[in-house]
Structure 1
């Protein structure tokens, strides 16, 4: 009889340890999406005030995630993504306009 009780205890402890514990009340940490690399690459585009804003949003997203505010981290990371994309688009427009003005004005000099 003692062997049957011991066998049940071993089975219950093995099922909990192998297949995860049954406590679903713990909040799992979502992945960090602060887009820090994208915002750092956007800093090379010539749209400097917008680049800095994207970088600040990204860093704030990381800080919120490490402090446990996952909703705030997700929101700030999404803002960092949008501002970084806007910065890249603005930078490409500035480069296009500068190149267009430069190469069209060179034709008048020749």
Structure 2
């Protein structure tokens, strides 16, 4: 480690670098300056001339865009999810099948709310098929109940 208390550092430990002149006979290239606006060097000022600064202000006015936005909010997904029919068949027909129809109607409604029309229609038609099956099954059950079971036990006479 160098001892700084005795004076300047010896040149053997740390080489000195002297500034070299720039010019025609020099080994170093002249320094380059980058000037804005196309690389032109500003004109030198004459004595007695005052420096003036030019400021360019560009103001733009907001322009109204000629566009129209059409928002279609089709909330009529109840008729396509068949929720009303599923609720009716759940209460008026065979309720376990009605619950399955309610589940598919609910899934259909959630697909419609998310904007997935294809899946919404698919689940809605599945719910419709289950509802039709439930209604037909309920009608058949009532016919069998009234014609076979109740007269057989003596509660109903035709």
The aligned runs of 1:17-28 (5 Å cut-off) are 21=68
**Cα distance in structure 1, aligned partners of 2:93 and 2:127:** 17
Equivalent of 1:98 in 118, 140, 145: 145
| Residue 59 in structure 1 maps to residue 106 in structure 2 | yes
- TM normalised by structure 2 equals 0.47
Mark the structure with the bigger radius of gyration.
2
Question: Which stretches in structure 2 are left out of the alignment for 5+ residues?
Answer: 1-65
Q: Is the 8 A contact 1:60 1:73 kept in 2?
A: yes
Equivalent of 1:38 in 58, 62, 85: 85
**Cα distance in structure 2, aligned partners of 1:105 and 1:78:** 40
Question: Which stretches in structure 1 are left out of the alignment for 5+ residues?
Answer: 1-12
Q: Higher relative contact order at CA 8 Å, sep ≥6: structure 1 or structure 2?
A: 1
Cα root mean square deviation, aligned: 3.1
Superimposed CA distance per residue, residues 19-63 of structure 1 (whole angstroms, 9 cap, x where no aligned partner): xx4x79x8x566521111111111123423211111110011001
Decide whether aligned partners of structure 1 residues 45 and 93 sit closer, same or farther in structure 2, where only a CA change above 3 A counts: farther
Deviation beyond 3 Å, 4+ runs, structure 1: 28-31
**Cα distance in structure 2, aligned partners of 1:94 and 1:54:** 18
**Cα distance in structure 2, aligned partners of 1:71 and 1:46:** 29
